[in-house]
Amino acid sequence: VPKLLGSFCQLHPAIEVSLDVANRDQCLNRLERNLDDLYIMGKYPEALAVEAVPFMQNPLLVIAPSGHPLAGRKNISPKLLAEESFVMREQGSGTRLAAESFFESHKIELKTRMTLGSNEAVKQAVAGGLGLAVLSQHTLTLDRASGAFAVLDVKGFPLIRQWYAVYPRGKRISAVTSAFLQYLISEGEKSTRTPA
Protein backbone atom coordinates (compact mmCIF):
# COMPACT_ATOMS: atom_id res chain seq x y z
CA VAL A 1 0.00 0.00 0.00
CA PRO A 2 2.75 2.56 0.71
CA LYS A 3 3.97 2.20 -2.89
CA LEU A 4 0.45 2.83 -4.24
CA LEU A 5 -0.02 5.67 -1.80
CA GLY A 6 3.26 7.20 -2.95
CA SER A 7 2.27 7.17 -6.61
CA PHE A 8 -1.19 8.55 -5.72
CA CYS A 9 0.46 11.42 -3.80
CA GLN A 10 2.69 12.19 -6.80
CA LEU A 11 -0.45 12.56 -8.90
CA HIS A 12 -2.04 14.75 -6.20
CA PRO A 13 0.82 16.69 -4.53
CA ALA A 14 -1.48 19.04 -2.60
CA ILE A 15 -2.97 16.19 -0.56
CA GLU A 16 -1.59 15.61 2.93
CA VAL A 17 -1.66 11.93 3.85
CA SER A 18 -1.34 10.02 7.10
CA LEU A 19 -0.66 6.26 7.03
CA ASP A 20 -0.73 4.10 10.14
CA VAL A 21 0.51 0.51 9.80
CA ALA A 22 -1.21 -1.62 12.42
CA ASN A 23 -2.00 -5.25 13.13
CA ARG A 24 -5.48 -6.66 12.58
CA ASP A 25 -6.77 -6.14 16.14
CA GLN A 26 -5.67 -2.52 16.11
CA CYS A 27 -7.33 -1.96 12.71
CA LEU A 28 -10.58 -3.55 13.88
CA ASN A 29 -10.58 -1.41 17.01
CA ARG A 30 -10.07 1.76 14.97
CA LEU A 31 -12.65 0.65 12.38
CA GLU A 32 -15.29 0.04 15.06
CA ARG A 33 -14.69 3.57 16.34
CA ASN A 34 -14.62 5.05 12.80
CA LEU A 35 -11.29 6.79 13.43
CA ASP A 36 -9.86 6.71 9.91
CA ASP A 37 -10.97 7.30 6.34
CA LEU A 38 -10.05 3.87 4.96
CA TYR A 39 -8.57 0.55 6.09
CA ILE A 40 -6.65 -1.84 3.87
CA MET A 41 -7.18 -5.45 4.93
CA GLY A 42 -6.54 -8.92 3.60
CA LYS A 43 -9.66 -10.25 5.35
CA TYR A 44 -12.48 -7.87 6.08
CA PRO A 45 -14.52 -8.29 9.29
CA GLU A 46 -17.75 -10.03 8.28
CA ALA A 47 -19.27 -9.41 11.73
CA LEU A 48 -19.09 -5.62 11.34
CA ALA A 49 -21.31 -3.47 9.11
CA VAL A 50 -18.70 -2.41 6.57
CA GLU A 51 -18.21 -1.73 2.89
CA ALA A 52 -15.37 -3.97 1.68
CA VAL A 53 -14.17 -3.12 -1.82
CA PRO A 54 -11.82 -5.70 -3.37
CA PHE A 55 -9.08 -3.97 -5.33
CA MET A 56 -6.08 -6.26 -5.83
CA GLN A 57 -5.07 -9.89 -5.59
CA ASN A 58 -2.96 -10.76 -2.55
CA PRO A 59 -0.88 -13.89 -3.28
CA LEU A 60 0.56 -15.58 -0.19
CA LEU A 61 3.93 -17.35 -0.45
CA VAL A 62 6.01 -19.60 1.81
CA ILE A 63 9.43 -18.18 2.60
CA ALA A 64 12.48 -19.75 4.25
CA PRO A 65 15.91 -18.50 5.27
CA SER A 66 18.32 -18.46 2.34
CA GLY A 67 20.30 -21.69 2.31
CA HIS A 68 17.38 -23.69 3.74
CA PRO A 69 17.44 -27.34 2.52
CA LEU A 70 14.06 -26.88 0.75
CA ALA A 71 15.17 -23.73 -1.11
CA GLY A 72 15.46 -24.42 -4.83
CA ARG A 73 13.39 -27.62 -4.72
CA LYS A 74 10.38 -27.83 -7.02
CA ASN A 75 6.83 -28.96 -6.17
CA ILE A 76 7.45 -29.33 -2.45
CA SER A 77 4.72 -31.39 -0.79
CA PRO A 78 2.96 -29.48 2.00
CA LYS A 79 3.51 -32.57 4.17
CA LEU A 80 7.26 -31.86 4.13
CA LEU A 81 6.55 -28.63 5.99
CA ALA A 82 4.99 -30.50 8.93
CA GLU A 83 8.43 -30.87 10.53
CA GLU A 84 9.36 -27.21 10.05
CA SER A 85 8.96 -24.42 12.59
CA PHE A 86 6.96 -21.38 11.49
CA VAL A 87 7.10 -17.71 12.35
CA MET A 88 3.48 -16.56 12.31
CA ARG A 89 1.54 -13.32 12.33
CA GLU A 90 -0.69 -12.64 15.33
CA GLN A 91 -3.92 -14.56 16.05
CA GLY A 92 -6.74 -13.24 13.85
CA SER A 93 -4.40 -12.02 11.10
CA GLY A 94 -5.88 -12.73 7.67
CA THR A 95 -2.54 -14.14 6.52
CA ARG A 96 -2.36 -16.46 9.51
CA LEU A 97 -5.98 -17.60 9.06
CA ALA A 98 -5.34 -18.41 5.39
CA ALA A 99 -2.14 -20.33 6.19
CA GLU A 100 -3.76 -22.30 9.01
CA SER A 101 -6.77 -23.13 6.82
CA PHE A 102 -4.52 -24.38 4.00
CA PHE A 103 -2.43 -26.62 6.27
CA GLU A 104 -5.49 -27.90 8.18
CA SER A 105 -7.03 -28.92 4.84
CA HIS A 106 -3.87 -31.02 4.30
CA LYS A 107 -4.11 -32.47 7.85
CA ILE A 108 -0.94 -30.66 8.90
CA GLU A 109 -0.59 -28.99 12.28
CA LEU A 110 1.84 -26.10 12.04
CA LYS A 111 4.60 -25.82 14.61
CA THR A 112 4.60 -22.19 15.62
CA ARG A 113 7.97 -21.13 16.95
CA MET A 114 7.21 -17.44 17.24
CA THR A 115 4.26 -15.07 16.78
CA LEU A 116 4.93 -11.50 15.65
CA GLY A 117 2.69 -8.50 14.99
CA SER A 118 4.14 -7.18 11.73
CA ASN A 119 5.25 -8.47 8.35
CA GLU A 120 8.61 -6.73 8.73
CA ALA A 121 9.28 -8.53 12.03
CA VAL A 122 8.31 -11.87 10.45
CA LYS A 123 10.70 -11.27 7.52
CA GLN A 124 13.56 -10.41 9.90
CA ALA A 125 12.88 -13.55 11.98
CA VAL A 126 12.91 -15.75 8.86
CA ALA A 127 16.11 -14.11 7.60
CA GLY A 128 17.58 -14.79 11.05
CA GLY A 129 16.88 -18.52 10.70
CA LEU A 130 13.99 -18.78 13.15
CA GLY A 131 11.70 -20.68 10.78
CA LEU A 132 9.51 -20.54 7.70
CA ALA A 133 6.65 -18.10 7.18
CA VAL A 134 3.66 -17.43 4.96
CA LEU A 135 3.54 -13.80 3.80
CA SER A 136 1.99 -11.69 1.09
CA GLN A 137 4.01 -11.40 -2.10
CA HIS A 138 3.44 -7.64 -1.87
CA THR A 139 5.42 -7.45 1.39
CA LEU A 140 8.38 -9.24 -0.21
CA THR A 141 8.85 -7.23 -3.41
CA LEU A 142 11.73 -5.04 -2.23
CA ASP A 143 13.40 -7.75 -0.12
CA ARG A 144 13.69 -10.59 -2.62
CA ALA A 145 16.87 -9.26 -4.22
CA SER A 146 18.63 -9.10 -0.83
CA GLY A 147 19.05 -12.88 -0.70
CA ALA A 148 18.05 -12.96 2.99
CA PHE A 149 15.33 -15.51 2.31
CA ALA A 150 14.04 -17.83 -0.41
CA VAL A 151 10.51 -18.28 -1.72
CA LEU A 152 9.65 -21.99 -1.58
CA ASP A 153 7.84 -23.76 -4.43
CA VAL A 154 5.16 -25.46 -2.31
CA LYS A 155 2.27 -27.30 -4.00
CA GLY A 156 -0.90 -25.26 -3.54
CA PHE A 157 0.95 -21.94 -3.25
CA PRO A 158 0.63 -19.13 -3.87
CA LEU A 159 -2.64 -18.91 -1.99
CA ILE A 160 -4.58 -16.26 -3.89
CA ARG A 161 -6.44 -13.91 -1.61
CA GLN A 162 -7.72 -10.39 -2.05
CA TRP A 163 -6.86 -6.97 -0.68
CA TYR A 164 -9.89 -4.95 0.45
CA ALA A 165 -10.41 -1.25 1.07
CA VAL A 166 -12.76 -1.16 4.06
CA TYR A 167 -14.82 1.56 5.72
CA PRO A 168 -17.95 1.60 7.92
CA ARG A 169 -21.19 0.98 6.01
CA GLY A 170 -23.12 4.21 5.55
CA LYS A 171 -20.04 6.38 6.06
CA ARG A 172 -19.88 9.33 3.74
CA ILE A 173 -16.34 9.18 2.42
CA SER A 174 -14.52 12.34 1.39
CA ALA A 175 -13.71 13.24 -2.21
CA VAL A 176 -10.03 12.50 -1.54
CA THR A 177 -10.83 9.08 -0.05
CA SER A 178 -13.12 8.33 -2.99
CA ALA A 179 -10.36 9.33 -5.44
CA PHE A 180 -7.84 7.11 -3.63
CA LEU A 181 -10.31 4.21 -3.62
CA GLN A 182 -10.83 4.57 -7.38
CA TYR A 183 -7.05 4.75 -7.82
CA LEU A 184 -6.62 1.50 -5.84
CA ILE A 185 -9.22 -0.25 -8.02
CA SER A 186 -7.59 1.03 -11.22
CA GLU A 187 -4.09 -0.01 -10.11
CA GLY A 188 -5.40 -3.38 -8.94
CA GLU A 189 -6.91 -4.02 -12.37
CA LYS A 190 -3.58 -3.12 -13.99
CA SER A 191 -1.69 -5.50 -11.69
CA THR A 192 -3.88 -8.46 -12.68
CA ARG A 193 -3.19 -7.77 -16.36
CA THR A 194 0.57 -7.31 -15.87
CA PRO A 195 2.69 -10.26 -14.71
CA ALA A 196 4.66 -9.54 -11.51
Q: What is the pLDDT of residues 137-156, one digit of tens each?
A: 988 876 666 778 999 999 99
Structural domain containing residue 176: 2-56+162-193
> By C-alpha distance, which of 124, 111, 115 is closest to 84?
111
CA 147 and chain centroid, separation: 20
- Average of per-residue pLDDT across 169-187: 95
- Residue 147, pLDDT score: 79
Query: Is the pLDDT confidence value at 158 over 50?
Result: yes
Strand spans (E) along 84-169? 85-89, 111-116, 133-136, 149-152, 159-168
- Average of per-residue pLDDT across 40-69: 94
Query: Is the pLDDT confidence value at 23 over 90?
Result: no
CATH number at residue 87: 3.40.190.10
Q: Are residues 43 and 70 in the same domain?
A: no
Q: Are residues 115 and 65 in the same domain?
A: yes
Percent of the chain with pLDDT strictly greater than 90: 75
Q: Are residues 153 and 125 in the same domain?
A: yes
Domains of the chain: total: 2
- Residue 196, pLDDT score: 46
Query: Is the pLDDT confidence value at 177 over 80?
Result: yes
For the chain, the average pLDDT equals: 91
23: Cβ contacts below 8 Å, ≥ 6 apart: 89, 90, 93, 117, 118
Q: Are residues 148 and 172 in the same domain?
A: no
pTM, full prediction: 0.84
Q: Are residues 183 and 140 in the same domain?
A: no
How many other C-beta atoms are found inside a 10 Å radius of the C-beta of residue 190?
10
Q: Are residues 108 and 93 in the same domain?
A: yes
